[in-house]
Amino acid sequence: MKGLLLKDFHLTKSVLCINLAIFIVIGVALSFFTSTWVLTVLATIMLGTVSVSTINMDKTSGWYKFSGVIPVSKKSVVESKYALYILLSGVGCIFGVALGVVTSLLKNQLDYGTMLMFVCISLAISLISGSITIPCNFLLSDEKSTLSVVISYPLSAATFAGTFLLFDNKQVACGVAALLGIILFVLSWRITRRFIAAKDTV
């Protein structure tokens, strides 16, 4: 697992640096026109999508064929992608919160309740979309898997909006959405791992 994660880290290192630079520039600009905590959502999603892109990178490079002749199980390959998604999304969330705190202090608008709510929004959207895009990228062609990325975020947002319709309290709605995201992500992880393990190739 550690070796697979290091491989993907080196594969995405340059992309991560570019994304972080873009995030800082766009994020700081946006923070003056909207809530500073939108940065948390933006950073979590941006870094999470980088990990999904490594699946198609491995397909294009032929790494999955190579992995069939080395002592790496298909379950480990799947688990490494889900783990990388969690790690990068987590880093993005922490980075977004840190930048949000700084910009909130500069604007004298620091509100921990709002911060926590946007962290839950970030987790909900990121985990729900990840539970869709990761298996789709493993199982579908490049064109169809790209479509899954486009579809997953509106579906995540719709799911999140649904919790707001069910619960009057915003904090409760955000918490339920985040919990739903965790449940769907774990289910996706377990089902994809089992399905890929049963296939002849990844």
Q: So what's the pLDDT on residue 45?
A: 85
Would the CA dihedral through 22, 23, 24, 27 be positive or negative? positive
* Residue range 45-92, pLDDT digits in tens: 888 888 888 877 777 766 566 555 566 677 878 888 899 899 889 988
Would the CA dihedral through 187, 176, 83, 147 be positive or negative? positive
Q: What is the DSSP letter of 202?
A: -
What end-to-end distance do the CA atoms of the chain give, in Å?
A: 16
Exposure string over 137-158, b if 16+ CB within 10 A, otherwise e: bbbeeeeebeebbeebbeebee
CB atoms within 10 A of CB 185: 23
Q: Is 35 helix (H, G, I), strand (E, B) or coil?
A: coil
Where residue 194 falls (left for φ over 0; alpha for ψ -120 to 50; beta otherwise) is alpha
Q: Is 115 helix (H, G, I), strand (E, B) or coil?
A: helix
pLDDT of 161 above 90: no
Residue type, 80: S
Across the chain, mean pLDDT equals: 80
* Residue range 130-157, pLDDT digits in tens: 999 999 888 877 777 777 777 887 888 8
CB-based contacts of 46, cutoff 8 Å, min separation 6:
19, 22, 23, 92
pLDDT of 1 above 70: no
